[in-house]
Structure formats: C-alpha cells, structure tokens
Structure 1
Amino acid sequence: MISIPVLTLKRLPQYLELLYGFEQEGQDTISATRLAELTGVHMTQVRKDISLTGVVGTPKVGHKIKDLIESIESCLNWKDLSSAFLVGVGRLGSSLLGYSELKRKGLNIVAGFDSDPSLAGTLVDGVIVHSMDKFANLCQRMKVHIGILTVPADQAQSTAELMVASGILAIWNFTPTLLQVDENIIVEDVDMSASLAVLSRRLSEKYDHDSKQISKIDNYKNKTDQEKQ
C-alpha cells in the first residue's frame, strides 16, 4: 500500500462531498479543473491527489464520477467499516455517538465508556455505555483497535495509556492534551482551540483591514468636500 501525504488525505473528503452531490444530480463525469475551481485547490494539486487514489481519467473528458467516488472511498478505507470505542460520554462524546455520518465514512462506534457510574448500562443513540473497568476486557474480546478520546483534559493521558495497554492502535484525540504514547500508536488530534484561534485571528484581521479601507474612503470624501467648499 502506497503512503499518501496527510494533506492529500484531508483534501480527498472535500472532493468526495462534491462528487456525491454531482452524482445525485445525475452528472456522469467531472474534470480536475472543475474540482479545482470549486475547492480552491490548484488544478495540478487536484490531479496529483486524484492520481494517488489509482483512478485514471480520460483526456478532454475527465473522470467518471462513479469510478472516482469508489476510488476515493477505497483509498480512505471508508468501504470497510472499522469498529471503535469512545471514552468520555459527555456533551461532545454524546454528539459523536449520534453522528450518523461517521458510519457512512467507515467508522462504527460500537460502545461508549465513562467514569460516571450513573451512565453505565444506558444507551446513547442506540450505543451502550459501559463503566471504565470493562474497557480492557471488551477491547480485547471484540478486537477493537480505534479509540475516540473525549474526556476532560486532566484525564486524557491516563485514558490514552489505558487504551494502548488494552490493544488500541489508533487514537482520535478530541482533547487539547498532547498525548505521550509509543511512536507506533497513531494519534490524530482534533484541536478545536487551534482552529478557533485561526478563525478569531482571521476575523480580527478582516475587520482591521475593512475598517482601514472605510477610514480611507471617509478621509477621501472629507477631503473632496473641503475642496468643493
């Protein structure tokens, strides 16, 4: 299996969502140029990304949408449903348990776990919640290798260590904690704080730029009015 760059892996779902829409509209083919226009990704990069999935297009015609969808889904391993355990059934964890799109994209959360004893035995969107003392045994029995971490930050490291000791090989980390685990363990951080920081800064820069532009226009108008007088 070839190694695919992380940035390409992050772009492929963008293409896929567009392709789903075009397929529903009855469109048969699409060009890399069109995908580039819609995503804002350079056309050369789109072509490189698509080529890594193994699909081959037709010159001056483009790619068959059905083939491209199947190729990208296979590349992302979305065709094979992977089982996962989620630890931390708070607001964020509960939301993920109820997010049906995950299953469509190859991830099936088969159980939730929480340190709150009152949650043990309850169902959240059809997924049973267990106490933490059952994690290791169930993980080994069910051969689950993906763990989703949605616990408070001060519990993240110890929970990650429990996951790894129980056989988890990949952790989807929704906490702000930088996990210290063996280098063979795959960790994908979803840092909402970093994302919010980018959003806030860009918004601030936009307001600053717009306010300066407005100020320039006002100054020009005032100067023009004074000259007329």
Structure 2
Amino acid sequence: MIKENLLKIKQSIPENVTLVAVSKTKPIKDLQEAYDAGQRIFGENKIQEMVDKYDVLPKDIQWHMIGHLQRNKVKYMAHFVDLIHGVDSLKTLKEIDKQAKKNNRIIKCLLQAKIAKEETKFGLSFDEIEAILVSEELATLENIQIVGCMGMATFTDNQQQLKEEFLSLKSFFNQQKLKAITTNCQFKTLSMGMSGDFLLAINNGSTMVRVGSAIFGQRNYNP
C-alpha cells in the first residue's frame, strides 16, 4: 500500500512542491518500501531514531529533522541532516552553525513561525523572525543556510481558519523573500501542510509538505 499511497499523493501535488515522507515511529521496512518506490526525502522528529535509520538505509536519502529541536542533540545529526524544519531561536541557529562547522558542512534551516491559535505549538512570531534575520549575530554564522519558513496550522476542521493561517505565513514569506538575501539567508522554501491539510496548504502557497499517515498508514505511537 505504501507504493500506491505515494503514487497517489505525488500525482496530486505540483512538481514544484517537495514531498517529505514523515517516517517517525515507522519500521525500516516501511521506509525501504517507500525508497524503492522512488521517495528520497524522509522526515523524523527524534534525532536518535533518525540516526539509527540513517545508519542502515541508503545514503542518498535526504533526512529532515521535523520535530522540536533540543540544542544539546544537534551534534548527533550534524554530519548528515539535510534540512532542519523547526528552528525557533537564534541560540539554536548558533548551535547548528557550531556543529556544522565541526563537520565541514553547511546545514539548511527553516525558521518556525507560530501561526496556529493553539498554545501548544512551538514557533516564533513574525516580529521575532524579522529580528533574527536583521541581527548582526546571524551574519556571522557561516555554516548555516536559512532557506525559508515552516508553520503548523491549528488542528481543526475549520477550512477557513486553516486558509487564513496558511495565507498569513505565505504573505510574510513573500515579504521576507525580497529582503532576506544574504550569504546565509535566501528564502526559497515554505513548509506548510501535513496529511490532513496538505492540499489546502499547497493551494495557499506551500512549496513543501510533510505527509506521514497518508503514506504509511496510522502511526503507532511509542509509549
């Protein structure tokens, strides 16, 4: 079913939209099946689980860290992670830069914007993101590349609310795209949308979607 699900999703999204297969908690065999069906970008929310999978799966996979990031664990994935979605502080950017430098790499990052009405979501306000982008400290970080923003909408069936949240980030992204053009910051990627709302997110400007259960089936949560 994984191959069929992937094919169906890829047929429903435009070519300019990147599909991240969210494989957290899924066994190696499921990822291998998706890989054999042509998928090369996988998203994990726990660093140790991502490291374990990286060690045994093909090395042409691009690994995306999509969960909330603990700074003290960046070092464990700095040698291979391709894109970090949920960066929500300048301190975290500095740690990523430090670990990337140790590994002679440049690590791509997305700044996480808080667009949901829920209090539980992580993320920065638009003003806080702008403050980071114009900070003198950011300009000194040579081993990161801020490539855009990520946002998680409210968990709701209210399509109008979701649309408004997506559009608010799209508008902000477009503004910053014109301003944030420096050596380590070029806005290209807007990551919005998951299994339940990725088509709506694409219709409202998303260029990257994170899809898990629609590919792999319902998730088995670890206790």
Provide the TM-score with structure 2 as the length reference.
Answer: 0.32
Which of structures 1 and 2 has the larger relative contact order (alpha carbons within 8 angstroms, sep 6+)?
2
Instruction: Please identify which structure carries the higher strand content.
Output: 2
- For the pair shown, the structure with the greater C-alpha radius of gyration is 1
Instruction: Please identify which structure carries the higher helix content.
Output: 1
Provide the TM-score with structure 1 as the length reference.
Answer: 0.32
